């Protein structure tokens, strides 16, 4: 059985089908609050002012063994698992039974120290990482990024660029060289040089040789974030200053901005034509696409022509159907021709692209979705996009401010300057950090407790995270890895404090923790046990076999005959009874091969149309015509009887699991006495 905790709020109700209702001990002793002390008085003096006792804000609802459960905890879990259920006496008591069983099992898992195993700790740590993510990003920044992305999707931008390559890990001097080169190119264009010519001559984007740096139209979420921001921010016709991305420095020229086209769904017929095709191949391809167009013009169906001519085999199997696409997803010629189609079903003229010749059929077009419709998808896209780093860095800076981050730059620089070329090749040895004992930065919480992060901590990180980066300098790699390590440690520092800062996170972690324990122990005690305990399952079936009964059935021997004459002759000989059924059938089949076939099976009412047409009377039926086939049925009535274990194994196994569950829960109740404060319980539904 596979474990899944996508929705932890259902962890308790998940086991409802396996749980019998608990017999709750209604003993409420030990739960009544002690009476308030009377105010002290002095003879002849006015009584001292009465200080009202603090009200019991969160009284104890029940205890399971020594564990006490406050009312608020039960109410919270009830609401999460019963969103459409009101607090009635029945709903509360029913759920309390399940909740008690849940608490008993978790208590047993803790007693068995299942929460101390390495597998458990590892699994819970994995879930914690996932659950912590929303708390470790700046929600305001994230929402601003979502809104910004949506606003950009409303428009398509066309831009050209010139790229001067420079990696993120380049040395400062190399970065300056690349930046100055980009400035020089920008200055040339400002003084009148043709952008496309300069792009072909100077850009290190290979595509510039063909397109002169023109990237065509694109929209939000299609380019790396800094590039996209510059393209949308520039005024039309102007050049940006050099823009740094992970690829290097870009000079960006915004050419046009237009309202978004939306998305379109098309099918296409394609005849391939290689870029290096000679005149002969070009003529053959052109002739083929024209033949296809002529067939369509003469009234041939789209699917027929696509099947015959299209060389895009993947789409041809589906009538040429392509996935929905919008701006920037197809080559410009194809995109322009597709969006030029004015109505559904319209077919384009022949379109030439770098891949060959196409004929396009519009299927459907849709406009821009609303923000509410799109925001969920955008959030997911941003989580996977480089712009999520903006939200992450914002959160890192907030944490650093909250916990009084202090850095020791001299220690950082001194250590990083010792890194050698072995780091660039991914072979740096941790022993090279021997002798470095200083701290690199520190964080301190509200109590004044300081946590230091040392050079040795960073060195260990380097040794376990290094990879081959031969094109980068050791110092550039070192500073890059330091920033990454520092950010990870700052976020980890905050993550370790989430339980104390956020009640919702603490509760969710408890649900996951208890859910893992509950699943593992129930699997061991009930699910897997029921499957593996074949003797126990068999004994359970023997004791309860009357719960798994067949209704009235028949044992039918069915003879299918090749025609009515054969069926009548066969029945006549059967009724005489001079020969056995098999001998009669063999004799007829000897004269006419396969004139009669035979099968035997058990049937309940309504399980077979043929059997339903047969009178439920023991003996040999008259010839029966069913769908132009002729049958003779020899019927024997079977009385109701218990199903064998194999026949009812699924139901028997499920019931055996329930029995094991009930027996186990009864044992747990004896081991961990349950007490419920009935007065407090009543307040839950009588509010």
Mean pLDDT by 10 residues, the chain (687 residues): 39 36 32 32 36 64 95 94 87 95 96 96 95 90 94 96 90 89 97 97 95 94 95 96 96 96 95 88 93 95 95 94 93 94 96 94 94 93 88 94 97 96 94 94 94 97 91 87 97 96 94 95 94 94 95 94 96 92 95 95 90 90 93 94 94 96 96 96 88
Distance CA 363, CA 213 (A): 33
The CATH number of the domain where 277 resides is what?
A: 3.10.50.40
**Rounded-to-integer distance, Cα 344 and Cα 4, Å:** 44
Structural domain includes residue 237: yes
| Sheet bearing 450-454, strands edge to edge | 406-407, 439-444, 450-454
Determine, yes or no, domain membership for 283.
yes
529 strand-pairing partners: none
- Note the pLDDT of residue 43: 35
Instruction: Give yes or no: residues 453 and 420 share one domain.
Output: yes
Model pLDDT, residue 686: 84
SS3 state at 198? helix
Are residues 111 and 15 part of one domain?
yes
How many C-alpha atoms does 356 have within 13 Å on its Cβ side?
22
> What's the total number of domains in the chain?
5
CB 378 within 8 A of CB 370: no
Residue 615 host element (H or E): none
Establish if 515 belongs to a structural domain: no
Residue 649: C-alpha distances to residues 19, 218, 270, 351, 643 (Å): 20, 60, 55, 63, 9
Q: Residue 70: enclosing H or E segment and its boundaries?
A: strand 67-70
Structural domain harbouring 576: 552-639
- Look up residue 562 and give its two tokens: 């090749």
Query: Residue 523, SS3?
Result: helix
CA 174 to each of CA 1, 212, 472: distance values in angstroms, whole numbers, following the listed order: 56, 26, 10
Same domain as 353, residue 286:
yes
Residue 493 lies in a domain: yes
Tokens of 24: 């709750």
Say which residues have a Cβ less than 8 Å from residue 296's Cβ, sequence separation at least 6. Answer: 302, 305, 347, 359
* Residue 255 sits in the same domain as residue 277: no
160 falls within a domain: yes
161 Cβ neighbours under 8 A, 6+ residues apart: 199, 203, 205, 213, 215, 227, 250, 251, 252, 253
Verify that 180 and 245 share a domain, yes or no: yes
Give the gyration radius of the chain's Cα atoms: 39
| Residue 283 and residue 229 in one domain | no
Classify residue 477 by burial, with Cβ atoms within 10 Å: 0-12, 13-18, 19+. Answer: buried
Q: Collapsing DSSP states into helix, strand and coil, what is residue 677?
A: coil
> Are 256 and 157 spatial neighbours (Cβ–Cβ below 8 Å)?
yes
Residue 459 phi, psi dihedral angles, 5° rounding: -60, -40
pLDDT at 615: 87
Residue 126 lies in a domain: no
d(CA 255, CA 586): 88
Distance of alpha carbon 66 from alpha carbon 63, whole angstroms: 6
| Distance set, CA 686 to CA 33, 74, 86, 88 (Å) | 20, 15, 11, 8
Which residues, including other chains, have CB under 8 Å from residue 390's CB and lie 6 or more apart? 141, 145, 225
Coil, strand or helix at 417: coil
Strand order in the sheet with 67-70: 67-70, 60-64, 674-676
One domain for residues 308 and 244: no
CA proximity to 526, closest of 414, 402, 656: 656
DSSP annotation of 347: B
Question: What own/partner pairs with CB < 8 Å and gap ≥ 24 does 365-373 have?
Answer: 365/262, 365/263, 365/264, 365/265, 365/339, 366/262, 366/263, 366/264, 366/265, 366/324, 367/262, 368/153, 368/154, 368/260, 368/262, 371/147, 371/150
Indicate if 466 and 562 belong to the same structural domain: no
Evaluate whether residue 506 is within a structural domain: no
Do 255 and 268 reside in the same domain of the chain? no
> What does the alpha-carbon distance between residue 120 and residue 517 come to, in Å, rounded to a whole number?
8
Cβ atoms of 641 and 545 within 8 Å: the answer is: no
SS3 content of the chain, % helix, strand, coil (to 5): 50, 20, 30
The pLDDT score that the predictor gives to residue 27 is 36
Q: CB–CB of 609/629 below 8 Å?
A: no
Question: What tokens appear for 136 in the block?
Answer: 């470790």
- The answer as to whether 674 is a domain residue is no
The bridge status of strand 356-366 relative to strand 60-64 is: unpaired
Query: What letters, b where the CB count within 10 A reaches 16 and e where it falls short, cover 629-664?
Result: ebbbbbbeeeeeebbebeebeeebbebbbbbbbbeb
**Do 252 and 165 have their domain in common?**
yes
Closest-CA residue to 288 (of 307, 309, 267): 309
Q: Are 358 and 457 found together in one domain?
A: no
What is the model's pLDDT at position 57?
Answer: 78
Which of residues 499, 518, 536 is at a domain's end?
Answer: 499
Listed residues 52, 87, 116: the one ending a domain: 116
Cβ atoms of 182 and 164 closer than 8 Å: yes
Looking at the fold, whether 111 and 13 belong to one and the same domain comes out as: yes
On whether the pTM is more than 0.85, the answer is no
Q: Which of 311, 346, 366 is the last residue of a domain?
A: 366
């Amino acid at each position: 059985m596979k474990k899944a905790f996508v929705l932890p709020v259902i962890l308790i109700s998940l086991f409802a089908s396996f749980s019998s209702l608990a017999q709750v001990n209604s003993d409420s002793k030990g739960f009544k609050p002690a009476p308030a002390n009377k105010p002290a008085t002095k003879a002849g003096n006015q009584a001292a002012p009465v200080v009202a006792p603090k009200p019991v804000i969160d009284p104890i609802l029940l205890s399971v063994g020594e564990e006490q459960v406050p009312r608020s905890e039960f109410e919270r879990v009830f609401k999460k698992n019963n969103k459409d259920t009101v607090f009635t006496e029945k709903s509360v008591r029913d759920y309390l039974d399940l909740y008690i069983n849940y608490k008993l099992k978790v208590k047993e898992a803790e007693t068995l120290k299942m929460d101390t195993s390495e597998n458990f700790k590892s699994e819970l740590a994995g879930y914690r990482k996932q659950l912590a993510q929303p708390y470790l990003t700046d929600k305001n920044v994230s929402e601003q990024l979502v809104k910004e992305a949506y606003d950009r999707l409303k428009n398509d931008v066309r831009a050209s660029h010139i790229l001067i390559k420079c990696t993120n890990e380049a040395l400062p001097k190399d970065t300056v060289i690349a930046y100055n080169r980009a400035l020089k190119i920008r200055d040339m264009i400002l003084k009148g040089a043709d952008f496309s010519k300069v792009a072909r001559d100077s850009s290190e984007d290979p595509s510039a040789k063909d397109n002169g740096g023109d990237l065509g139209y694109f929209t939000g979420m299609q380019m790396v974030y800094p590039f996209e921001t510059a393209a949308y921010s520039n005024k039309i016709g102007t050049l940006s200053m050099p823009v740094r991305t992970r690829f290097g420095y870009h000079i960006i020229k915004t050419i046009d901005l237009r309202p978004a086209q939306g998305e379109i769904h098309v099918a296409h017929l394609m005849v391939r034509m290689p870029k290096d095709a000679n005149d002969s191949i070009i003529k053959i391809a052109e002739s083929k696409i024209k033949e296809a167009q002529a067939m369509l013009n003469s009234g041939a169906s789209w699917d027929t022509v696509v099947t015959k001519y299209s060389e895009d085999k993947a789409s041809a199997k589906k009538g040429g159907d392509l996935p929905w696409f919008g701006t920037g997803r197809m080559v410009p010629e194809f995109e322009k021709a597709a969006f030029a189609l004015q109505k559904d079903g319209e077919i384009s003229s022949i379109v030439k692209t770098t891949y060959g010749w196409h004929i396009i059929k519009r299927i459907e077009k849709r406009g821009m979705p609303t923000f509410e419709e799109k925001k969920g998808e955008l959030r997911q896209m941003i989580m996977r996009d480089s712009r999520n780093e903006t939200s992450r860095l914002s959160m890192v800076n907030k944490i650093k401010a909250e916990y009084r981050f202090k850095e020791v730059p001299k220690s950082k620089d001194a250590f990083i300057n010792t890194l050698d070329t072995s780091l660039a090749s991914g072979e740096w040895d941790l022993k090279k950090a021997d002798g470095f004992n200083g701290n690199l930065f520190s964080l301190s919480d509200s109590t004044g407790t300081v946590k230091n992060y040392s050079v040795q901590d960073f060195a260990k990180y380097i040794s376990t995270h290094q990879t081959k980066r031969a094109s980068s300098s050791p110092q550039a790699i070192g500073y890059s890895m330091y920033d990454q390590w520092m950010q990870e440690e700052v976020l980890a520092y905050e993550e370790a404090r989430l339980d104390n800062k956020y009640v919702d996170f603490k509760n969710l972690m408890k649900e996951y923790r208890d859910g893992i324990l509950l699943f593992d122990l129930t699997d061991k005690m009930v699910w897997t046990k029921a499957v593996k305990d074949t003797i126990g399952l068999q004994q359970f079936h023997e004791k309860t076999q009357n719960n798994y009964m067949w209704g009235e059935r028949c044992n039918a021997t069915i003879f299918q005959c090749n025609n009515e004459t054969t069926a009548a002759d066969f029945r006549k000989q059967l009724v005489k009874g001079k020969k056995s059924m098999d001998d009669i059938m063999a004799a007829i089949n000897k004269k006419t091969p396969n004139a009669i076939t035979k099968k035997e099976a058990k049937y309940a009412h309504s399980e077979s149309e043929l059997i339903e047409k047969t009178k439920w009377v023991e003996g040999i039926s008259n010839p029966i015509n069913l769908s132009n086939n002729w049958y003779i049925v020899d019927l024997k009535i079977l009385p109701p009887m218990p199903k064998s274990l194999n026949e009812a194994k699924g139901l028997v196994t499920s019931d055996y699991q329930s029995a094991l569950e009930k027996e186990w829960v009864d044992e747990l109740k004896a081991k961990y006495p349950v007490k419920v404060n009935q007065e407090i319980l009543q307040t839950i539904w009588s509010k």
